[in-house]
Amino acid sequence: MDSLLWSTLPEHLLERVLLRLPLPSLLKFRTVCRAWRSLLCSDGFLESYSSISPQGPWFFMFTNHDYKDGSTFNPISNTWHHIPLPSFPVNERYIPVAAAGGLICFCASTDGQKNFAVCNLITATWRKLPPMNNNPTYLETVGMVVDKGTGLYKVVVAGNHEISVDDITTEVYESGLDTWRMTSSMPRGADPLLGTITCNGVLYSWCCDPDGLVAYDTYKDTWSLIQTPTPDSLVSNTILESRGRIMMVGGLQEGNITSAICVWLLNVERMEWVEVDKMPESLCQEFLGDRTYFMCVGTNDVVLLYIGGGLRDMPMLLYDLAERQWSRVPDCTLPDERLIDGLIDGISFEPRLDILV
């Protein structure tokens, strides 16, 4: 292509071309020169970009126990991208606790206090949130929602000051006001896992005791407990959202061995889990070997399954919730010296250029 032709291309035509490029190409494009970077950061381009369908999810996998390094897997191109983490304070260990709409929420514990930060990995921007009103000693669950129309977001934190499930308070951070506010307490006795999913404006966490889901309505600021008994001998289960439905991926044990990995759909009329798919036995054996536990993260119909805890050369799998298809993930392409600890942990996020922190 004639370079002179490109140099004289009107900006509005160049913008239309750029809007049709995949995100990895845009990331390379903005490094060419200041003028092109300015174009990609302009209000006009970002407004047009906001109407584009999500190009995700992507998966950021951490490669050391300090959570300061890692690599990003793009399932659309089936490749790894080396996107750096924000420059968090060196004396604080920020761990990802929630993600939504292009943003990731991190939490650090410093001198017994919980500090939260929100970042956009794609734009390399982040901000530290103000201190909570009643900073919890122990976190029970953290969730996040983003209004795609306005770009405003909320961070919902439930926690307490004792190792107890009797008095779990809730605070909500609103980016438009830059403040935290106290809301309702979680139902007494609920013991949720830290992670959440968002489905139709409601945050859901899986509870091991009592067996079911705990839900937080982000519009009404109220909690509810939903009885949804899970299958017997369930291990390593994670709830997921898929096109307005609540799904679950988990393993089934026989003795001390995980013999199957299955996918369930929550039947909201009967409030029970219905098995809809099962990993082929040979692939399950290849993935787990003689191990019992695994981890999975996902959003927007795509799930990544992996063996956590720093084991090197462990297989990773993708599962497409819509197509019900399993596939293998290529090895991470980071240099060996940055993979000494293997892949420790991961989080899924929607890569966006237009969402501000």
Over 70: is that where the pLDDT of 288 sits? Answer: yes
Over 60: is that where the pLDDT of 191 sits? Answer: yes
- Residues 99-120: tens digit of each pLDDT: 999 999 999 998 878 999 999 9
* The predicted structure's pLDDT at residue 345: 87
* The predicted structure's pLDDT at residue 110: 83
- Residues 227-241: tens digit of each pLDDT: 998 888 999 999 999
Residue 26 backbone dihedrals phi, psi, to 5 degrees: -65, -40
What is the spatial distance between Cα 75 and Cα 37, in angstroms, rounded to a whole number?
A: 25
What is the spatial distance between Cα 295 and Cα 344, in angstroms, rounded to a whole number?
A: 10
- Residues 46-70: tens digit of each pLDDT: 888 888 877 779 999 988 888 888 8
* The predicted structure's pLDDT at residue 274: 96
Higher pLDDT, 167 or 6: 167
Band of pLDDT at residue 193, cut at 50, 70 and 90: confident
Residue 125 backbone dihedrals phi, psi, to 5 degrees: -120, 150
Higher pLDDT, 327 or 66: 327
Band of pLDDT at residue 336, cut at 50, 70 and 90: confident
Q: Looking at residues 126-138, what average pLDDT do you find? A: 93
Higher pLDDT, 313 or 174: 174
> Is there a cis peptide before residue 229, judged by omega within 30 degrees of 0?
no
Tell me the pLDDT of the chain averaged across its residues.
Answer: 88
Residue 155 and residue 171 in contact, taking contact as beta carbons nearer than 8 Å: no
* The predicted structure's pLDDT at residue 223: 96
In angstroms and rounded to an integer, the radius of gyration of the C-alpha atoms of the chain is: 21
Closest CA to 303 of 67, 59, 61, 77: 59
* The predicted structure's pLDDT at residue 37: 81
How would you class 7 by CB atoms within 10 Å of its CB: exposed for 0-12, middle for 13-18, buried for 19 or more? Answer: exposed
What is the spatial distance between Cα 20 and Cα 86, in angstroms, rounded to a whole number?
A: 28
Band of pLDDT at residue 8, cut at 50, 70 and 90: low
Classify domain 53-349 by CATH number.
2.120.10.80
Q: Where in the chain is the domain with CATH 2.120.10.80?
A: 53-349
Over 80: is that where the pLDDT of 36 sits? Answer: no
Over 70: is that where the pLDDT of 43 sits? Answer: yes
* The predicted structure's pLDDT at residue 165: 57
Closest CA to 318 of 74, 71, 69: 74
* Most confidently modeled range among 66-70, 79-83, 204-208, 271-275: 271-275
What is the CA angle 158-163-164, rounded to 5? 70
Higher pLDDT, 148 or 94: 94
> pTM for this one?
0.91
* The predicted structure's pLDDT at residue 7: 62
Integer CA distances (angstroms), 202 to 89, 142, 190, 277, 298, in order: 32, 13, 17, 25, 17
* The predicted structure's pLDDT at residue 95: 93
* The predicted structure's pLDDT at residue 38: 83
**Side-chain half-sphere exposure of 283, counting CA atoms within 13 A:** 16
Over 80: is that where the pLDDT of 204 sits? Answer: yes
